[in-house]
Amino acid sequence: MTAFDELSTWDDRALAKRLGWYRDVAENRFPARFRVARTVPLSLSPEDASEDALRDELDRLTPVFEERRRRIAESAEALGQAAAGPDLLDLCRALVWRMLAHCNFCEWDCRVDRTGGAKFGACKLAAQSRVSTYFHHLGEELVYRGRSGSGTIFFTSCNMRCAFCQNGDIAADKDNGTVVDARTLATMAWLLRMEGCHNINWVGGDPTIHLHAIVDAIWLLGGEFAMPSRRDLGAALPMKADPFRPGVAFPMDGYEGGYKGAFNAPMLWNSNFFMSEDAMKLLRILIDVWLPDFKFGPGRCAVTLSRTPRYWETVTRNLGLVEDWGGDATIRHLIMPNHVECCTFPVLDWIAENMPGVPVNIMDQYRPETCCDPSDEKYSKRYAGMARRPTPDEIQAAYRHAQERRVNYQTITHEKNTMGLFA
């Protein structure tokens, strides 16, 4: 019996097919994508090559990488040995730091040199990354929380400004949280996996603006990071929100078994999906399962409620890339009051037409927060239409529309719904 065998969610065949790679990595039958990247050699030195050369090499090697991963998934082919010299994971690390010097991680495309910190872009961050907390998240979808939780690492700051943000305390304050380096992040991920978490869940705020720090941490986990030192533990443990469980091994095979004796965990990208295409291409190598938050329709709602232009174009482009790549994914959509026709319906229509069968969580958990909460000092009357929960009629209208468009929503949505409503 494996970690997921007793979970009814996996009885949904369409869901199981869509998340097959994720499950196999979570249960250590397959190596995570970052481990596969270690076996793909480069034809250049990542330290000496130009940024353009690195991008060309990434484009050249991505089909090689995907073919190797496909053979592993379809025939249980052995991973093989790590490359003798520089590899694709080294390339990802080198490239992400070149990008940080003219930051284009997200669609704002600020082109600010964040390595110097003399000028700031939309996220208002330099090179430092901060983490609010990390823990076994037992509130995620069942496919991700399982029996032992999703290993969630909450970064602070965000590249969007949603007026109703439920994590506004960490998303809107760039100085919130604790400064972390790559070793501390790697230690957090290692601890969570060792304690039984089914995945490493990079979230925030939003993880996109911390891409360099995350890639650095994954690079360490894919290399010589066998076990955290006392210094590493001393830096990481104060931010942990649940008790440290020393001596707990992997829930499946034990750490020394992991996958071929090395650390292994599916990397989950829990994001607003406002990434640049360049960031998407890099993440393709590293991310085993995508968890995009698809909130707004094609009108001006993203600008009005989140101060985010080009939202629809960006998110649908990125979701289209995931679909073209055959990536494992689950989409979240939040039902918002007075936004069912302008946001919910177009979002569900797009999913039905472009990502048929993808699991969708149509969330009924909206509540007015920050600028939308009349009791909050940040409340603004311009958001009066958002100062309530969605009605039962709005929620059921969303479910009916999903049903009519044959969106695969029931399994995940009804497991998570808070109001006990059904179509």
Domains of the chain: which residue ranges?
Answer: 8-29+124-416
Determine the Cα–Cα distance for residues 141 and 195; give it in Å rounded to an integer.
19
Reported as a single tens digit per residue, the pLDDT across 47-89 is 999 999 999 999 999 999 999 999 999 987 889 888 999 999 9
What is the amino acid identity at position 371?
C
- Tokens describing residue 219: 């690079």
Reported as a single tens digit per residue, the pLDDT across 2-26 is 778 888 899 999 999 999 999 999 9
The whole-number pLDDT of residue 336 equals: 98
Q: What SS3 class is residue 392?
A: helix
Maximum pairwise Cα distance, the chain: 61
8 Å CB contact between 384 and 355: no
Residues in a beta bridge with 129: 180
Residues in a beta bridge with 333: 362
8 Å CB contact between 207 and 171: no
Q: Of 23-32, 231-240, 246-255, which gets the smallest average pLDDT?
A: 246-255
How many helices (H) and strands (E) would you count in the chain? 16, 9
The whole-number pLDDT of residue 5 equals: 80
The CATH superfamily label for domain 8-29+124-416 reads Aldolase class I (3.20.20.70)
| pLDDT over 70 at 247, yes or no | no
- Cα four-point dihedral sign 210, 211, 212, 218: positive
* Tokens 């930051």 found at: 103
**What's the helix, strand, coil split of the chain in %, to 5?**
45, 10, 45
* Tokens 């823990």 found at: 135
Residue 59, burial from CB neighbour count under 10 angstroms (0-12, 13-18, 19+): exposed
Nearest CA-CA partner of 180 in 223, 141, 138, 125: 125
